[in-house]
Structure 1
Amino acid sequence: MTSASPPRVLILGIGNLLWADEGFGVRCVEALNDAWQFPEQVSLMDGGTQGLYLLPYVQEADCLLVFDAVDYGDPPATLREVVGDAVPRFMGAKKMSLHQTGFQEVLMAAELTGKLPRELVLIGVQPEELEDYGGSLREVVKGRLPDALALGLRWLERWGAVPAPRTVDGERINHAALDLRPYEDGRPDASVACRLGDARFLNLEQD
């Protein structure tokens, strides 16, 4: 990157859409993509739970903006903005799932190879519910999406990567069936689809 070229920005949502509030980071990136058109130096990605597969994308970025659900021990739906060296420490302090271990390793590997983005920002939310397979964001967590996006947009402005309101449909982040509304509307009733596993195999009635 020369002094005249704009920084390459990666906006990454990590987590698992299938486990309720774990999908917060991905929903943030989807919402940004739906509402805004970004300069060509900006990439948006659903990082899911891919772990080290994300390393080459992180290595290519000059500025990295991550959205995620992270267990801080705060009241549900609390937002935190973590910057710089604190990001990998914060993600590894209290892991909710394997994806956080994996992404902490991504940042460590990028640093070891001398290709850690020069600016790191994590915008995270305290989840309310995780143990709900096939569930969507809880309302209190979903309600923080606009605030999280506003924080992210301020960082993009600082990096000279200001988006414009979307006027035409862009490339999708995920399959249409995973969009928030159809994902929520299409969920079977609990009497049909067990939320935590199949009771026939869990032997729940045994002492």
Structure 2
Amino acid sequence: MHSQPFVNPRPQPTEAAGPIIVLGIGNVLWADEGFGVRCVELLQQRYAFAPHVQLVDGGTQGLYLISYVQSAERLLILDAIDYGLAPGTLRIIEDEEVPKFLGAKKMSLHQTGFQEVLQLAELTGHYPQRVVLVGCQPEELDDYGGSLRPAVKAALEPAIERACEVLCEWGAEPVPRSGTLAPDEAVTTEHLAITRYEAERPTEQDACRTGDARFFSHHG
């Protein structure tokens, strides 16, 4: 799955450097909904960035992400988005169009929450100068403990390639990481890193694939 490292074809950024937030949102516990978080995880494992760049696993935190949005001059969002297209299809949405796509077909509560984050940031007068959304069409969301489906997993490489292109234009200075990332530096916790997460998934007989069976037994 590892391709050749991204090499910036432009020696100079096209935009002035300022605080940059790279935000992966979604829930890795529900199959393709974890796409955005997996993108940020892979970006961090593969590249180092300039000091004014912060990579964030936003999970499903909703309004708790407001401080990140307010502090960013440039905001790059990676997420699974229901565009009504073939699974694994990527679309790049920019600036004022981003809130519209996040709110058009909400797949989960995290998208409702993040749309509100953007609206609140705008109301407070602390909204990024640039916002870019790299979104991938999911295939499967109703699979508790599942990982990315093959079509969506295959979209990780082109997604981070496009993310690096945007980040280069913004002056984020991505360069291939020379050493191994320390576990305490990782944006995702060690036990949820994709390799371990996929390897240690229990069987369908041992764990319910549509939620917590204990909940269903009490509320059925």
Matches within 5 A, 1:183-202: 183-197=197-211, 198=213, 201=217
Q: CA deviation at 1:175?
A: 1.4
Q: Unaligned 5+ residue runs, structure 1?
A: none
What secondary structure does 2:121 align onto?
helix
**How many positions carry a matched residue from both structures?**
201
Q: CA deviation at 1:57?
A: 1.0
Of residues 145, 163, 168, the one that matches 1:157 is 168
Post-superposition Cα deviations, 1:143-168, rounded to whole Å, max 9, x if no partner, equal 01000001101101111112111012
Post-superposition Cα deviations, 1:167-198, rounded to whole Å, max 9, x if no partner, equal 12341112111111110010011111121142
What secondary structure does 1:56 align onto?
helix
Question: How has the CA–CA distance of structure 1 residues 168 and 202 changed in structure 2, closer, same or farther, with 3 Å as cutoff?
Answer: same
CA distance in 1, matches of 2:152, 2:62: 24
CA distance in 1, matches of 2:132, 2:186: 24
Corresponding residue for 2:32?
21
Q: Unaligned 5+ residue runs, structure 2?
A: 1-14
Q: CA deviation at 1:203?
A: 9.7
CA distance in 2, matches of 1:157, 1:56: 24
What secondary structure does 2:178 align onto?
coil
Which letter maps to 1:29?
Answer: V
What secondary structure does 1:124 align onto?
strand
- Measured on the aligned residues, the alpha-carbon RMSD in Å equals 1.7
Matches within 5 A, 1:85-164: 85-164=96-175
CA distance in 2, matches of 1:72, 1:191: 33
Of residues 155, 178, 201, the one that matches 2:192 is 178
Which letter maps to 1:184?
Answer: E
What secondary structure does 2:65 align onto?
helix
Question: How has the CA–CA distance of structure 1 residues 21 and 115 changed in structure 2, closer, same or farther, with 3 Å as cutoff?
Answer: same
The 4+ residue runs of structure 1 with deviation greater than 2 A are 197-204
TM-score, with length taken from structure 1: 0.93
Post-superposition Cα deviations, 1:62-120, rounded to whole Å, max 9, x if no partner, equal 00000000111111111000001000011001100000010000000111111110000
Identity %: 53
TM-score, with length taken from structure 2: 0.88
Q: CA deviation at 1:6?
A: 2.0
Of residues 1, 22, 25, the one that matches 1:11 is 22
Corresponding residue for 1:47?
58
